[in-house]
Amino acid sequence: MGLLRIMMPPKLQLLAVVAFVVGMLFLENQIQKLEESRLKLERAIARHEVREIEQRHTMDGPRQEAVLDEEEDMVIIYNRVPKTASTSFTNIAYDLCAKNKYHVLHINTTKNNPVMSLQDQVRFVKNITSWKEMKPGFYHGHVSYLDFAKFGVKKKPIYINVIRDPIERLVSYYYFLRFGDDYRPGLRRRKQGDKKTFDECVAEGGSDCAPEKLWLQIPFFCGHSSECWNVGSRWAMDQAKYNLINEYFLVGVTEELEDFIMLLEAALPRFFRGATELYRTVGKKSHLRKTTEKKLPTKQTIAKLQQSDIWKMENEFYEFALEQFQFIRAHAVREKDGDLYILAQNFFYEKIYPKSN
């Protein structure tokens, strides 16, 4: 017996294909709506939790006005640069907040705009410094550096950050916009459907891979001045370097994230006690966010981008940050049998006068 074949008329085949495509688009749309609903729910829950905390402290009466001791009055701001393992690091902070008794708050700016309006800067500074119910607090978001001293604040927050090799960061961001990552795989991305590789984009002189897109880490550290966002500004790079040295407690690099976490735990145990072990045992597998479909660029593509003055400046800033981080690490840790360990206290006091009776 021959095989029985059921052939569909061409029109029915076309209708079936159209129905399938429409069905897939409908499913994608529903997934997007569910993701938006989830985000709205998360924001509503967060607002409710904040109100509950404020009400609880209000009912406590005089305790609301109590002066916080040094550790409890601490605020950390992690003004995270996109695609530098910022989500991976932030998840460590979320995992530890209940155990170490501090609050974590996401700074969600409209359309992820890293520059705040002047009035929002005032509101933000006031919130950070006077919101006792949220202290000790760990704030994180894609916001450029803001100088609290300009607003007459007596005690400034502690700034930390992580940066990445500028080309690697741009490549990761390029594919992230098209394919997303394993953190929220169902979310539809802005450039979804564009299958062009990073190499092809550079070869064709595309806007999404242009050297100007490298200009991000410098302005994030430079701040809210207009010159910070002028692509290729030498002043902006010098200001970013100044801020990194003088205004940031510690700046790590994506490529050495574990060492960054280890140094934070040693220096700021109030927040990061247990962070190194958590990262080693759980974080490397569950926290590291991987961009989907990412293809490494060719040597030719890298060489072409490295001809740009913008790359040279961003890379100079990255190398500057890396050298500073490695200098701090060299004076804080020692290596033994392939493992790093934190040095014990290496200073003490003597010849104390006048002598007590």
pTM: predicted TM-score of the whole model, two decimal places: 0.80
138: domain CATH number?
3.40.50.300
Torsional sign, CA 18, 20, 26, 32: negative
Query: Does residue 13 lie within any of the structural domains?
Result: no
Query: Does residue 5 lie within any of the structural domains?
Result: no
Query: Does residue 196 lie within any of the structural domains?
Result: yes
Query: Does residue 111 lie within any of the structural domains?
Result: yes
Candidate list 57, 140, 224, 331, residue with the active-site label: 140
Q: How many domains does the chain have?
A: 1
Candidate list 57, 142, 224, 287, residue with the active-site label: 142
How far is residue 144's CA from residue 148's CA, in Å, rounded to a whole number? 12
Question: Using 50, 70 and 90 to split pLDDT, how confident is the model at 134?
Answer: very high
* CA distances to 33, 255, 263, 265 from 332, in Å: 48, 18, 8, 12
48 catalytic, yes or no? no
pLDDT of residue 28: 72
Query: Does residue 192 lie within any of the structural domains?
Result: yes
Alpha-helix residue ranges (DSSP H) falling in the chain? 10-59, 86-100, 118-130, 166-179, 198-204, 217-222, 234-246, 257-267, 269-272, 275-278, 284-286, 299-306, 309-330
Q: Tell me the pLDDT tens digit for each residue of 286-308.
A: 445 555 567 899 999 999 999 99
Q: Domain range holding 152? A: 75-342
Q: Answer yes or no: is pLDDT of 232 > 80.
A: yes
How far is residue 288's CA from residue 356's CA, in Å, rounded to a whole number? 55
pLDDT of residue 67: 66
Query: Does residue 317 lie within any of the structural domains?
Result: yes
Query: Does residue 61 lie within any of the structural domains?
Result: no
Query: Does residue 272 lie within any of the structural domains?
Result: yes
How far is residue 74's CA from residue 91's CA, in Å, rounded to a whole number? 20
Question: Using 50, 70 and 90 to split pLDDT, how confident is the model at 208?
Answer: very high
Q: Answer yes or no: is pLDDT of 137 > 60.
A: yes
Q: Answer yes or no: is pLDDT of 120 > 60.
A: yes
331 catalytic, yes or no? no
